[in-house]
């Protein structure tokens, strides 16, 4: 085996066939980093037949003026069931970054250690204890089994819906009652889906701003989304949920006529038998439903007059590779949350994954705090409702390359934090 630089073609061919390859380890991300002026390396291992056995996208950031901080975001990509390959790669990687002026190296492999439910209970242990020992032997320090959200470390817990051998009908059946009800609701209340292009991205950004203000979280800058849409090309999809008022009002008017017809029938029954309590109760319930229906018609007509026939209500930002559809971000117009547009977005993309035979639908990060006091308790409940699993990843490892300089660097950081 030999450790070597890879061409973009070699890197892409390998990562596109490895089932646990993250979107940050795509050629598209390499092109993005280069365009942003980031020092970026593609490295890997080849066997004697020149076949790639492992691959890694590395970025290098200047630190302490004369050194570099190397990072492989969700990499490297390899068969982690091969201890010999793992040992050789990480040993050679240390040598490589040292030759390129590294102060230290950070890796956070896209490697699951547990499958959990959304109450935190372990459903499956992937038996990865040995790899912690291997990293320690090679001088890599584990950053711990962190929870929560961090500006440096990648989130360690993802909420993932396994679509293997499932139909859309199966997915709907497995949802909890609220998810099921809202998913059915958006299929019959005039909610439509279309995909935004780059020029229309401000629509999505407006939803994200609305959502971040309401839920008090810090969103990415505009450039983050624009640059990924530009460089990831068809690997990014931005579905927009909107109301088609002509269709929505027409559906409501059909319902209105049906309610009126059933009320008239109940009245006939009451005329025949005034003491018929069942008919009286039915009439009262139907009248309440008719009243609610007519309120919806009035609201729809008012909104149509104000906004036109199409009203954007929700959008999501999805990143796709051959193995998973990732729900990276999403936002909803708070004024129109009652239309449940986010459910239409999720249902569209779940069906996209099924239609394209992509088995992992990744709702993406959760804190890993499964208590009622979790900062993302509402988000966890939403994702749990789709019958998704929680996949817990191995976490971050740091290897000091220039040990004396790294010791000084960490002391300076600690002093700065105290000031």
Position 195 scores a pLDDT of: 98
On whether residue 199 sits in a domain, the answer given is yes
Q: What is the pLDDT of residues 51-73, one digit of tens each?
A: 999 999 999 999 999 999 999 99
- In this prediction, residue 290 carries a pLDDT of 96
Residue 197 domain-assigned? Answer: yes
Check whether residue 289 and residue 406 sit in a common domain.
Answer: no
Say whether 230 sits in a helix, a strand or coil: helix
For the segment 204-223, the average pLDDT, to the nearest whole number, is 78
Buried b (16+ CB within 10 A) or exposed e, 47-80: eeeeebbbbbbbbbeebeeebbbbbbbbbbbbeb
For residues 194, 364, 32 and 57, what is the CA-based torsion angle, rounded to 10 degrees?
-150
- Chosen domain end from 329, 358, 387: 358
Residue 259 lies in a domain: yes
Q: What is the DSSP string of 190-223?
A: TEEEEE--GGGHHHHHHHHHHHHHHHT-PPPPHH
Task: Judge if 170 and 88 occupy the same domain.
Answer: no
pLDDT tens-place string over residues 286-313: 999 999 999 999 999 999 999 999 999 9
Which of the four pLDDT bands, split at 50, 70 and 90, describes residue 217?
Answer: low
* Cα distance between residue 378 and residue 332, in whole Å: 15
DSSP notation for 244-292:
EHHHHHHHHHHHHHHHHHHHHHHHHHHHH-TT-HHHHHHHHHHHHHHHH
Find the Cα–Cα–Cα–Cα dihedral 19, 21, 22, 28, rounded to 10°. -120
Residues 231 and 170 both lie in one domain = yes
* Cα–Cα dist 11/233, whole Å: 18
Residues 64 and 179 occupy one common structural domain? no
Q: What is the distance of C-alpha 351 from the center of its chain? A: 15
39 DSSP β-pair partners: 60
> pLDDT category, 243, cuts 50, 70, 90?
very high
Which among 312, 343, 358 is the end of a domain? 358
Work out the pLDDT band at 10, boundaries 50, 70, 90.
Answer: very high
Same domain, 179 and 321: yes
- 342 and 231 together in one domain: yes
Residue 334 lies in a domain: yes
For residues 260 and 314, membership in a common domain is answered with: yes
Structure tokens at 367: 């804190």
Does 274 map to a domain? yes
Which residue, of 358, 377, 407, is where some domain finishes? Answer: 358
CATH code for the domain of 67: 3.40.630.30
Instruction: Decide if 387 is inside a domain.
Output: no
User: 390 near 158, Cβ under 8 Å?
Assistant: yes
The yes-or-no verdict on residue 30 having pLDDT over 70 is yes
> Is residue 212's pLDDT more than 70?
no
- How many C-beta neighbours within 10 Å does residue 367 have? 19
Residue 233 and residue 333 share a domain: yes
* Higher-confidence position of 359 and 416: 359
Q: What is the pLDDT of residues 164-182, one digit of tens each?
A: 999 999 999 999 999 999 9
Residue 49 lies in a domain: yes
Please indicate, yes or no, if residue 338 is contained in any of the structural domains: yes
Give CA–CA dist 381/119, Å, rounded: 10
pTM value? Answer: 0.93
- Supply 296's token pair: 């919806």
Domain range enclosing 8: 2-108+396-418
Residues 349 and 411 grouped into a single domain: no
Same domain, 404 and 344: no
Please check the confidence at residue 9 and state whether its pLDDT lies above 70.
yes
Q: What percent of the chain clears pLDDT 70, i.e. is strictly above it?
A: 98
Residues 88 and 181 in one domain: no
Coil/strand/helix, residue 244 = strand
Q: Are residues 204 and 341 in the same domain?
A: yes
Q: How many domains does the chain have?
A: 2
Residue 295 is classified by DSSP as H
Instruction: Tell me the per-residue pLDDT of 388-411, one tens digit each, with 9 for 90 and over.
Output: 999 999 999 999 999 999 999 999
């Amino acid at each position: 085996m030999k450790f070597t630089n890879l061409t973009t073609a070699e890197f892409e061919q390998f990562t596109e066939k490895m089932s646990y390859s993250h979107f940050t380890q795509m050629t598209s991300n390499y092109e993005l980093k280069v365009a942003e002026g980031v020092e970026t390396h593609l490295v890997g291992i080849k066997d004697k037949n020149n076949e790639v056995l492992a691959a890694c996208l590395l970025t290098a950031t200047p630190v302490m003026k004369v050194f570099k901080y190397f990072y492989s975001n969700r990499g490297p990509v390899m068969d982690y069931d091969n201890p010999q390959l793992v040992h050789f790669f990480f040993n050679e990687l240390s040598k490589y970054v040292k030759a390129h002026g590294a102060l230290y190296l950070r890796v956070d492999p896209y490697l699951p250690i547990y499958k959990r439910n959304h109450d935190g209970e372990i459903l499956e242990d992937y038996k990865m204890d040995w790899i912690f020992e291997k990293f320690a032997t090679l001088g890599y320090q584990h950053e711990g089994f962190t929870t929560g959200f961090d500006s440096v470390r990648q989130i360690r817990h993802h909420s993932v819906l396994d679509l293997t051998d499932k139909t859309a009908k199966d997915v709907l059946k497995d949802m909890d009652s609220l998810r099921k009800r809202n998913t059915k609701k958006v299929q019959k209340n005039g909610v439509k889906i279309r995909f935004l292009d780059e020029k229309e991205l401000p629509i999505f950004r407006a939803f994200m701003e609305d959502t971040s203000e309401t839920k008090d979280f810090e969103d990415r800058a505009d450039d983050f989304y624009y640059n990924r849409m530009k460089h990831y090309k068809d690997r990014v999809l931005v579905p927009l949920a909107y109301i088609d008022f002509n269709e929505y009002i027409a559906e409501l008017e059909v319902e209105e006529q049906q309610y009126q017809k059933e009320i008239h029938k109940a009245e006939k029954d009451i005329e025949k038998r005034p003491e018929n309590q069942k008919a009286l109760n039915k009439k009262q319930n139907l009248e309440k439903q008719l009243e609610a229906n007519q309120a919806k018609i009035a609201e729809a007509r008012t909104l149509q007059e104000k906004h036109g026939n199409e009203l954007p209500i929700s959008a999501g930002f999805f990143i796709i590779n051959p193995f998973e559809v990732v729900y990276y971000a999403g936002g909803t117009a708070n004024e129109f949350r009652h239309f449940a547009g986010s459910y239409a977005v999720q249902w569209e993309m779940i069906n996209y994954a099924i239609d394209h035979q992509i088995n992992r639908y990744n709702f993406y990060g959760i804190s890993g705090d499964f208590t009622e006091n979790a900062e993302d308790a509402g988000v966890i409940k939403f994702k749990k409702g789709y019958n998704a699993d929680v996949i817990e990843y191995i976490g971050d490892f740091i290897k000091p390359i220039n040990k004396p300089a790294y010791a000084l660097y960490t002391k300076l950081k600690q002093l700065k934090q105290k000031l």
